[in-house]
Structure 1
Amino acid sequence: MIRLLITVYAGLEHAFEADHLLAVNNLVTNRSKIKDALKDGMFWGIGHTSTIFIVGVIMIGFKISISENIFSYLEAVVGLMLVILGTIRLFKLLYKKTHSHTYYHSHPHTHSNGVTHTHMHAHTYTHSHPIAGFKHKHYDGTANYKTAFGVGLVHGLAGSGSLVILVISQIKTPLEGLLYILIFGIGSILGMFIASGLFSIPFTKSILKSQKLQYSLIIVSSVICIVYGFNIIYTNLF
């Protein structure tokens, strides 16, 4: 039982690594509801666990060794992914701000004493137009978690090598090793589930109503994501 809890904790701690948090943080800034952000974290964890398990089957089940150099290149791919995520998030933010318009209208209001006042109202609308080569899509209220799942898959590729090698050095049977990876994966799903919920709090409409502050947080997190991504690329390729 203690070993099981330690394995879950190891997976939970793994989810809180810097590159994981930066990627998911950029994903949840698109969410206005905490429950959608929590699902992002869950799908990231599922993708991450899927990749690690597949690599585990290859290395443990089929006894196929994978060069450490390959995993270094995969780490660089993670860095590239972080750069892309941060860049896309900044683009979406700037594009949204560019297409926000404020409309004013007034209407008279008569009190019981016969005095009439005119009230002025302002409404801000945000809309988007199709970019050349892309189809125009309307948001229908359903959240898409494919991106979170894909990001988890890539992260799993990068971190799976060292984890599987560690498991191989300690296991007695292949089945025990794969079971360890699955339990570790459950811990990582739980960890990212918690992290995504915490990161989404500043971006929920009911918590932080200052749009300027939200924009500032998005810009800062996106820039950090891009810089950290370039650092990973440089570290693993040069």
Structure 2
Amino acid sequence: MGQLPLLVLLAYALYEGLFHAVEADHVLAVTNIVSQRNKIWPAVKDGIFWGLGHTSTIFLVGIVMILFKVNIPDRSFSYFEAAVGLMLIIVASYRLYLFFRDEELFYFHKHSYEHAGVNDHLHVHVHSKGPNLHKTSYGIGFVHGLAGSGALVVLVMTQIESMASSLLYLVIFGIGSIIGMTLIAGVFSIPFSKKLVNSKILRTILVLTSSVLCLAYGCYVIYNNLLA
């Protein structure tokens, strides 16, 4: 394969990695993660870890298939997709559990301030607590990689004869995926930032909408890959 076709293919890998991040299942999963943040930067790091997890799976599966000439049956990819659907259901359900538990972000405190006299003020304080979401993001990205990595590697192996070029394709795709998920996480975390988080009505609408959509899409993915 000549240099120009290879460069074109690598550019296509970067393009595919970037736009792979905006697929519905990826966006819904990441939105349910970053909805637990009240600052953009931690959410951006969640996106980075999601991309790293996704890339790890793609690279591991790719190495096995390219180096050892292992072929994964097409039917197996349906089970991988169904696993992603199950994961979406779990992510959405856990997010709803955290929300209805109603102790994750909103705490009401009464403070007294002395000016001319003593005045009591009721404030809503936003606290970001809970588990290490970076690890969760990495794990979710890793599972997502199982669904899409097989088809990607098959595409690589059918179009690139050089083993080194095949691995480079996977790396470029992974970089594009990391960049894409970082941008998506940052953008979708904006409605949950401190400037808007004090509106509990708005937050309720956003969290419930993203969680219900994630739950419904997870059910759809399982039905489409196992029952349809």
Give TM-score scaled by structure 1 length.
0.84
Does 1:35 find its partner at 2:35?
A: no
Q: CA separation in 1, counterparts of 2:85 and 2:164?
A: 32
> Is residue 2:65 matched to residue 1:59?
yes
Contact 1:36 1:143 in 2 (8 A): no
Q: For 1:196-220, what per-residue CA distance to the aligned partner results, in whole angstroms no more than 9, with x for missing partners?
A: 0000000011345312201210011
Gap regions ≥5 residues in structure 1 = 111-116, 128-137
Are residues 98 and 82 of structure 1, via their aligned partners in 2, closer, same or farther at CA, if it must alter by over 3 Å? closer
Aligned pairs for 1:13-162 (under 5 A) are 13-96=19-102, 102=108, 104=110, 109-110=115-116, 117-124=117-124, 139=129, 143-162=132-151
SS in 1 for 2:95: helix
Instruction: Give the Cα separation in 2 of the matches to 1:76 and 1:221.
Output: 20
> Partners of 1:17 and 1:187 in 2: how far apart?
14
- CA distance in 2 between partners of 1:107 and 1:54 (Å): 59
Q: Distance in 1 between matches of 2:165 and 2:105?
A: 55
Q: Distance in 1 between matches of 2:201 and 2:99?
A: 12
CA contact (8 A) 2:38 2:197 kept: no
Shift of 1:46: 0.6
Task: Please give the TM-score of this superposition, normalised by the length of structure 2.
Answer: 0.88
**8 A contact 1:96–1:126 mirrored in 2:** no
Gaps of 5+ in 2: 1-6
Local SS of the residue matching 1:160 = helix
**Which structure shows the bigger proportion of residues in helix conformation?**
2
**Structure 1 vs Structure 2 CA RMSD:** 2.4
Higher Cα Rg, which structure = 1
Match status 1:163 vs 2:169: no
Query: What is the CA–CA distance in structure 2 between the aligned matches of 1:16 and 1:107, rounded to whole Å?
Result: 48
Q: 1:61 to 1:148 in 2, by over 3 A?
A: same
Q: Does residue 223 in structure 1 map to residue 212 in structure 2?
A: yes
Q: State the distance in 1 between where 2:9 and 2:75 align.
A: 31
Q: What's the CA shift for 1:123? A: 3.9
* Identity fraction in percent: 49
